[in-house]
A and B are shown apart, each in its own frame.
Chain A
Amino acid sequence: MHISEGVLSAPVLVTGVVLAAAGVSVGLRKMDYEKIPQVAVLSSAFFVASFIHVPIGPANAHLILNGISGILLGWLCFPSILVALALQAILFQFGGITVLGINTVNMALPGVTCYYLFSRLVKRERGLLSSAAAFTCGFLAVFLSGILVALCLLFTEESFMSVAKLILLAHLPVMIIEGIITLFCVAFLARVKPELLGGIYGKGS
């Protein structure tokens, strides 16, 4: 879901930087120095988890997990995703400097949205409601990211319409897979380590 360097127009890039700066500063204000090791370890866990390639028919997709990262980290997922993307840009040249802002927003904003919508629901007793919430969380996060990417392309150049549509369409199976993975992952965490679902600042941390 990365947008490469050189594709987007200046206004889109600037908007990205401004929004990312706002999100990151909210996140940083909520993050005490002593929580940094915890946030960092979770960020690296998400970084590593994005190496997992899941088969979808003949193709495969790598996990994004911005929904569950939103639930666990809340606003802190802004700095966490920024740092992960910066590392990807430096180590593998995925993404880059000028798109760092917009890529952060595209991934973290859906994460924060999911945090507000679902973090309370998924913590409820196991049942249909919490399972449905977990699935929707994973699905919606990728869906919103896809919409944001499509919008970035459209605001850059109207003839990106077909590209944007194709990207959204190609991500439809990814959304479903992310939903399923989030559903099982949340169920697993609820059984094995429920305090994690309470977030970094939850009980027991």
Chain B
Amino acid sequence: MIEEQFSTGQSFVHGLDPRFKIIVAILFSVVVAVSSNLLALLPALALSLFLMALTRLSPRKVFYRLLLVNGLILFLWLLLPFTYKGETLFTIGPLVGTKEGVLYASRITVKCNTILLAMIALLATTPIFTLGHAMSKLYIPDKIIHLFLFTYRYIHVIFQEYRRLTNAMRIRGFMPRTNIHTYRSYAYLVGMLLVRSYDRAERIHRAMLCRGFSGKYYTLSRFSINIGDILYLSLMLAAILGLVFLQWRAIA
């Protein structure tokens, strides 16, 4: 369930310097998030799709992932066309759909999926541990990085624990329904998960002290920049500047 589906691969994007990927992902997301014009958003979407194509990930898997996270967007499509004031575009019974509403909903949809595609193409194609190390090179506070890496490490362990507990419940014939018994059982499941995690944390901490942990997390990974990275960074920066220009021209 918790796996880095997209992080392994041999494509050009998988081999890029993770620091550059993070920088580009952040800049690109921010620019797209604050853009409001389809003239800037559609080229951005094209750029995302291009990056996605470069990763050579399975389009089916990516599409499925996008469907999963488009829940709120679907919800907005059900409401926005009818609540946004403007010119009438269509009517369904008593409901009046406006042109502005539909445009607004499409803008949000394009924005959201553009950023999501870029995130899959750039961040999900990097293993979490590499991302952590790259972030520490980008001057993100040490404590956050440690917390990030440790949390990721223990999610797997605790997920196993969670599976053990839910299996035990199932063996005893537990069927979730809408009643107090169900809620109490789930509450105890959460409680047990917390208790076991806490005990485990205690053991981990002692084991780490035994091995001389002094609060520093040393990394052996070194990043090297090659000509492909530089080319990629400059092209992407130029493209992002282009998007800023398109958006700015559309407003002005």
Which residues on A are within 8 Å of B, measured CB to CB?
2-8, 10, 13, 24, 28, 31-34, 36-45, 47-49, 51-52, 54-57, 63, 65, 68, 72, 79-80, 82-84, 86-87, 89-94, 96-99, 157, 159-163, 166, 177, 180-185, 188-189, 192-193, 196, 205
Contact = CB atoms under 8 A, between A and B. Distances in A.
B174 interface: no
Contact of B147 (A40, A161, A184): A40
A196 B200 CA distance: 13
Nearest to A53: B176
Contacts, number: 236
B120 A33 contact: no
**Secondary structure at chain A's binding surface: helix, strand, loop or mixed?**
helix
B134 interface: no
B205 interface: yes
Given A7-B72, A34-B215, 4 more contacts: A44-B154, A51-B162, A97-B115, A180-B180
A57 B148 CA distance: 36
Contacts of B114: 6
B177 A55 contact: yes
Given A87-B152, A93-B65, A159-B80, A45 B147 contact: no
A48 B198 contact: no
A86 B59 CA distance: 24
B143 A185 contact: no
Contact of A159 (B1, B85, B201, B216): B85
B83 A161 contact: yes
Contact of B208 (A32, A37, A68, A177): A37
18 contacts: A4-B70, A32-B215, A33-B143, A34-B213, A40-B201, A41-B150, A44-B151, A45-B193, A45-B197, A87-B155, A91-B128, A93-B116, A93-B124, A99-B33, A157-B104, A163-B80, A184-B187, A185-B187
